[in-house]
Structure 1
Amino acid sequence: MAALDRLPAGTILLSDSRAFGCAGAVFRVDPATGEPHTLSVAGDLQGASGIALEADGGVLVSKDRFFPGTGALLRLSASTGTQTEVTSGGRFATPADVAVEVDGRILVADAFSGGSGAVLRVDPATGEQTVLSPGDGEGDTPPRPVKLCTAPDGTILVVEQGMVGGEDLSSRVVRVDPVTGARTTVTSGGELRSPIGLAVAGDGGILIADANAFAGFGGGVIRVDPVSGAQTTVASGGGFVGPRALAVEADGSLLVTDNEAVNGVGTLFRVNPATGEQQVLASGGEFRFLTGVAVVPTPSG
């Protein structure tokens, strides 16, 4: 992808599964003004479930099969919004989120792949799908992968829910070995009730957006120590109603989507990670159900 296809560093990207009369869309948001612009709309974006960026500037979007079509992984041009399919069908059942490894390989969290869910790896050139880490399948409602991201050391962090879409005290964050696929639990229980957003801070701390965390189910952002698994509160209550997607900006500020805040419309908050102060950056307009958020990084080299 040509350098001209790159969006400016710091640009915020949002996937929306229901924008424009449920057609689905990807928006780009000015980080200074909060002004949104449509990057791509309709096509295969109805049911868009997650968003990530490739090193060359490509925009990856996962799509849930419960909307028209089949579960799919799309690549969008950063300059034109043109959609091309990376892969679809195959092992995909309900692709819930997408992330990119340092070497460019693509990771997809699929809550029902193979029956118990799995973390899948996708070849960015051929679209070939392989199972990196299958769900453990334990119990009547086995924890299923719904969000994932990569840590600075290359390990993969995954949010798993035993009851997708509702309060679940068995929810957990696991670390997946990128070579063997072995899973180890980082944290579970505590304030986790409906974890759905996941990101890693610059210092390695794990950040989780949870729609129902804390007393009164006000929702908020939790920080997890990557070694001990100890949970601390970053932000709770305030304008939050059902925090969902989460990303970290270059200065450490947090971006959190909430589809029930501000009169029940899609809203993007900026949160101070030190004080928990919430600022509405963008809200309403064509936003309907914001499912993913990503930030364009500064090109390396």
Structure 2
Amino acid sequence: MAVQELPPAGTILLCDSQAFGCSGAVFRVDPVTGESRMFAMGGDLQGATGLAVEAGGSVLISKDRLFPGTGALLRLSAGTGSQTEVSSGRKFTAPVDVAVEADGQILIADSFAAGFGAVIRVHPATGDQTVVSVGTGEGDTPPRPVKLCTAPDGTILVVEQAMAGGMDLSARVVRIDPATGARTTVTSGGELRSPIGVAVDGGGGILVADANAFAGFGGGVIKVDPVSGAQTTVASGGGFAAPQALAIEADGSLLITDNEALNGVGTLFRVNPVTGAQQVVASGGDFRRLTGVAVVPAASG
């Protein structure tokens, strides 16, 4: 179905893999009022796993359903009403997130590509795929990528977990060199159990949303020092049940999705990065399973 023109800077975008009878959707949320409106629905959006906004305003969606054994990358072109496939199949197996590099190249985190999961670079015009880095595959239950983002210096940050029912099995944050694919573990263990969202703040700090972190597995947000890997609790408990996707607003506030909060209702929280105070921005309505969050950036130049 047709999409609307890209909303104003600061507008929050959410992808939902199961909205409207599992048709899938992208919602736009007013950052002040929390009013939720449909931005796009149906088409190939069922099974949407993550979203990102390109410099030109188009919205990218990763997905892993309706393309059996492969997955796909979609583009929603603001202003034209078109929903097109950028890339599918080939090296894709189970795309779980998408990010955009400074030069416009697209990055996909795929949990099962190349055997142990991989980061794949996609050309934004041709859809050509190149494997940037492959998981190490160690252990009986190797950790696999579940979300990724880029840092201001261009390095790629990936959160990986062993995907074993929330058990503490090799959960970690990995830094990847975008040119060589070399992998460095930034932090592992500690409070990390099921990291499932990652972003970098203005000071270079790495923010991780973890669905099962902390005593009682209530989940929360952890800040990771990019140099030492030291973990600091930003927020835990409160309204959280299983925090998932994470994004950062222009003022530094954190946006967290949680599909188990408020008695199992899809919810978007705003978290103060200093105090950890939680605020419900939007909840319920047409939300079913929120899998990605992004903020419309201010126009450059």
The aligned counterpart of 1:244 is: 244
Q: Quick check: 1:144–1:164 contact (8 Å CA) kept in 2?
A: no
Q: 1:30 to 1:166 in 2, by over 3 A?
A: same
CA distance in 1, matches of 2:80, 2:252: 29
CA distance in 1, matches of 2:267, 2:80: 25
The aligned counterpart of 1:272 is: 272
Amino acid in structure 2 at the alignment position of 1:156: I
Q: 1:46 to 1:280 in 2, by over 3 A?
A: same
Q: Quick check: 1:197–1:246 contact (8 Å CA) kept in 2?
A: yes
Amino acid in structure 2 at the alignment position of 1:191: E
Report the TM-score, using the length of structure 2 for normalisation. 0.96
Q: Quick check: 2:223–2:232 contact (8 Å CA) kept in 1?
A: yes
Give the superposed CA RMSD: 1.5
The aligned counterpart of 1:75 is: 75
Cα displacement (A) at 1:98 = 0.3
The more displaced of 264-273 and 137-146 is 137-146
Structure 1, gaps ≥5 residues long: none
CA distance in 1, matches of 2:220, 2:67: 28
The aligned counterpart of 1:188 is: 188
Q: 1:238 to 1:112 in 2, by over 3 A?
A: same
CA distance in 1, matches of 2:228, 2:268: 30
The aligned counterpart of 2:61 is: 61
CA distance in 1, matches of 2:109, 2:154: 16
Q: 1:197 to 1:165 in 2, by over 3 A?
A: farther
Q: Quick check: 1:40–1:81 contact (8 Å CA) kept in 2?
A: no
Cα displacement (A) at 1:66 = 6.6
The aligned counterpart of 1:219 is: 219
Q: Quick check: 1:197–1:208 contact (8 Å CA) kept in 2?
A: yes
List per-residue Cα deviations over 1:152-180 (Å, max 9, x = no partner).
00000001112265323311000000000
The aligned counterpart of 2:153 is: 153
The aligned counterpart of 2:116 is: 116
Q: How does 1:125-140 map to 2 (within 5 A)?
A: 125-140=125-140
Q: Secondary structure, in 3 states, of the residue corresponding to 2:217? A: coil
Cα displacement (A) at 1:81 = 5.1
Q: Quick check: 1:65–1:95 contact (8 Å CA) kept in 2?
A: no
Cα displacement (A) at 1:7 = 2.5
CA distance in 2, matches of 1:293, 1:76: 15
The aligned counterpart of 2:107 is: 107
The more displaced of 182-191 and 139-148 is 139-148
List per-residue Cα deviations over 1:73-131 (Å, max 9, x = no partner).
00002346531100011111000000000000000000000211100000000000110
Q: Secondary structure, in 3 states, of the residue corresponding to 1:21? A: helix
List per-residue Cα deviations over 1:9-55 (Å, max 9, x = no partner).
00100010000111110001111111011111111111000000100
Cα displacement (A) at 1:142 = 1.4
Q: Confirm or deny that 1:32 pairs with 2:32.
A: yes
Q: Quick check: 2:98–2:109 contact (8 Å CA) kept in 1?
A: yes
Q: Quick check: 1:46–1:67 contact (8 Å CA) kept in 2?
A: no
CA distance in 1, matches of 2:298, 2:164: 34
List per-residue Cα deviations over 1:197-221 (Å, max 9, x = no partner).
1011111100000011001111100
Structure 2, gaps ≥5 residues long: none
Amino acid in structure 2 at the alignment position of 1:252: G
Q: 1:17 to 1:164 in 2, by over 3 A?
A: farther
Q: Confirm or deny that 1:176 pairs with 2:176.
A: yes
Q: 1:280 to 1:123 in 2, by over 3 A?
A: same
Amino acid in structure 2 at the alignment position of 1:213: A
CA distance in 1, matches of 2:22, 2:66: 13
Q: 1:87 to 1:67 in 2, by over 3 A?
A: closer
The aligned counterpart of 2:197 is: 197
Provide the aligned length of Structure 1 versus Structure 2: 298
Q: Secondary structure, in 3 states, of the residue corresponding to 1:125? A: coil
Amino acid in structure 2 at the alignment position of 1:197: G
CA distance in 1, matches of 2:165, 2:52: 22
